[in-house]
Chain A
């Protein structure tokens, strides 16, 4: 157990350093100069050289990488060139917004996916089943940004009930101490603020969550169908269990493995999807910031963001493995 934990930590560290190195080199090889993006047209070569030196861009590649790594290990992620602020504090400010969005979308996808997969299994061989399958096929074919645009049309334009952009109405000032507005407003029972934050999140969350929900329904329903004809389900049915109980108690835990693994992978895609969805809704998370960082060739910020995405990816995978072991006793070793 301890050995496998240490193993995983080592692998995680190597992954992060690897991701960091690749991005570092890549960013400096592709054309595009961050200094050129920030200077005014009349700047003298001396000014430019001074700026390059200030951001450490004048040294050779190996030295630059070494300096960056050394700084990282002491917790210094560098300064954003375009925003002129520490990368770490920028991430700390923006990441909570994206995390709330991503986990809300995950929660929606899991709840909706589970519900429809179980309903579809209950309704197998009735007229409801092809209906669920057809709707699901449709949902599978539509990507998140198309949902986003459709939602904007529906609830922003035709029936304007939801705010189109931002995270919170600027007139609401609750003096938040964290950047987790949704959670904090709920815990502090600031219900007006909570409702406002939730209504801002509604459209991006639905846009991000629906495609994942569709994947879960498709995979889980198929696996449940297979599990429901196993001998142990037959025996349990003989004992007099209801269909719903057969699905939830007997079939689900054995059917969920592949869905869980794929949901983990899809969740990291979902976090990738926040980049464009946050852009559409001007939602102040790291996705939106990433677009600006790339446009501005803001190397330190891009590096920080990529490391952040890498860390999230690693943590999601750890969580998926832990959950898989929880559901499948054969995966647990002492």
Chain B
């Protein structure tokens, strides 16, 4: 384990130690906000504005956030928001996969009239700032009755998830040798079965990566649920901020506890999907 060195690598050279220290510093630096968040979540109301590291930790905040008491304090139904977020994001990712995988395959395999323009259009969803499109979307959503609905949220989140799915998977499909599918066609499989039985299983790592990224991006989205939903379809990202209390008292410790809870679903998803991500690297049996 720790003793496996690359050929020619020495263990304790000055530059190796320096590199390790730099990495450690970076590690602490990037992890600090998370540590701070967790600490804050464990503090009582009285201690919430202190910066001490030593205090008597309590799990009460988590209980408050997840129970009716949180709603009484801030009028936010956090558990419902959590569920809404899961539904919205899972729905958005699912729709993106169902539509995006065939789209990515087509775009990766064939050049058809306008294929480049189409791909660019899909990509452009990502670099148009959300604040730019939100006002017209708000007007449209109000007029056609999609405001504050799950369907509306899933739909608008396609702007976030679809480009990721299509662009990630297109490159996976492009890297697959076409001859694999050709061999299946010659064996008597139809185009569709060659796609389902040959191409699709081989891009599973790509699907896993795209699913994870799309879910995280959708999960973290703030502007769309903030403007396009009120209560029914309001999500955790919006709910968290309510604990900061618009006008009333700010509960930093509750905000932190809510944020910690909100970070769990993507984490769980990442851990579940992880093995598919890694396994993809060990195929490599195709001569290119």
Partners in one complex: no
Using a CB–CB cutoff of 8 Å, the interface residues on chain A facing chain B are none
